[in-house]
Amino acid sequence: MIVVEDLVKRFGAVTAVAGVSFRVEVGEVVGFLGPNGAGKTTTLRVLTCFHPATTGRAVVAGHDVVEDPIGVRRSVGYLPENVPIYTDLRVEEYLHYRARLKGVARARRKVLVEYAMERCGVLEVRRKLIGHVSRGYRQRVGLADALVARPPILILDEPTSGLDPNQRRRMKLLVRELAEEHTILFSSHILSEVQDVSSRLLILHHGRLCADGTPQQLLERASGRRLDVQAHAPAEALRAALAGLPGLADVAVDSAPDGCARFSAALAPGADPRDAAAAALAARGIPLRELKLTLPTLEQVFQQVTEGADERAPAGAVA
């Protein structure tokens, strides 16, 4: 549905996107993460044909962004960051204007505008001037605009930026609902939101793609995972039973006053010794009380991925 191959975008001497490749399949909700200035908006602008790429290729819904920009724009509903929309029009007028501009036939226009307003919860402000509604409503009007021609793909640039927590929660629910009918690529730097809504995450940093996978995959691949075991045995016996398992590091064992011992170790990326640990304890006849794999938070993964990239390519190497 969206195919990006080796996309590079330079603005003079500044390289905003430095060779990004990814795919978004039909029906996916992909969260596009990255610190400010990572190249998220630039990539989305290339995908919506606002800027051309310097080199590389991008195909959206089967249309090449260079060869058939009109075809791309017909397939995409785009919500830019900060929702720059005309403030001197009424909500309903604006959506009718946009539907007309997007080539929605007159006969379907009324129905689709009603659908978009209802879906995005802006019916109660339909007669208000856009300049007079709150930031949350304006964001929803922008989303209604993206939806109004019922495009197969929605590209949303920071749809929750500038919203209060309640408005953010509502926007998140809305995006989740829309995911039933649209392929969605949306950018954000609020990780908890992305984790809740996305089926897959792309992490961009300094114009390069640093990570690509489901939230679960990224958490599993990350370092910072720990194995915690509690068993009814002396500390030394517990250490002897578990310390030899593969993929463990930074082992710590301590005794509790109730005759139990606690074992904790860092895990190598990808390692999962839970079954082996249970088997080792069973083989020695040690009663197991608790066995837990602790995953890092997405914030920690994000920090690892982006700071790891900084260490590999010192800041300034890629602007």
Closest to other proteins by CB, 146 vs 210, is: 146
Q: Please list every residue from 143 through 172 that binds other proteins, using CB under 8 A.
A: 145
For tokens 């649209």, name the residue. 182
**What is the residue type of 174?**
L
Do 265 and 254 meet the contact criterion of CB atoms below 8 Å apart? no
Closest to other proteins by CB, 98 vs 225, is: 98
For tokens 């539907």, name the residue. 99
* Beta bridge mates, 291: 229
Interface residue with other proteins, options 8, 97, 232, 251 (CB under 8 A)? 97
Closest to other proteins by CB, 151 vs 296, is: 151
Number of residues that bind other proteins (CB under 8 A): 29
Judged by CB under 8 A, the stretch of 98-106, 110-118, 219-227, 266-274 that binds other proteins is: 98-106
Candidates 59, 259, 57, 81; CA nearest to 156 is 81
Closest to other proteins by CB, 82 vs 161, is: 82
Residue 130 binding other proteins, by CB under 8 A? no
Q: How far is the CB of 172 from other proteins (least distance, A)?
A: 23
Closest to other proteins by CB, 86 vs 313, is: 86
Residue 126 binding other proteins, by CB under 8 A? no
CA distance linking residue 108 with residue 196, whole number of Å: 34
Q: How far is the CB of 147 from other proteins (least distance, A)?
A: 13
Do 60 and 70 meet the contact criterion of CB atoms below 8 Å apart? no
Residue 127 binding other proteins, by CB under 8 A? no
CA distance linking residue 134 with residue 233, whole number of Å: 61
Closest to other proteins by CB, 62 vs 103, is: 103
Q: Show the binding pattern over residues 12-31: x = contacts other proteins (CB under 8 A), - = does not.
A: x-------------------
Side-chain half-sphere CA neighbours of 178 within 13 A: 35
Closest to other proteins by CB, 72 vs 248, is: 72
Q: How far is the CB of 100 from other proteins (least distance, A)?
A: 5
Q: Please list every residue from 35 through 94 that binds other proteins, using CB under 8 A.
A: 45, 48-52, 70, 73-74, 76, 78, 80, 82, 84-86, 88-89, 93
Closest to other proteins by CB, 48 vs 306, is: 48
CA distance linking residue 277 with residue 270, whole number of Å: 16
Q: How far is the CB of 202 from other proteins (least distance, A)?
A: 21
Do 181 and 74 meet the contact criterion of CB atoms below 8 Å apart? no
Q: Show the binding pattern over residues 215-254: x = contacts other proteins (CB under 8 A), - = does not.
A: ----------------------------------------
Where on the chain is the footprint of other proteins (CB under 8 A)?
11-12, 45, 48-52, 70, 73-74, 76, 78, 80, 82, 84-86, 88-89, 93, 97-98, 100-103, 142, 145
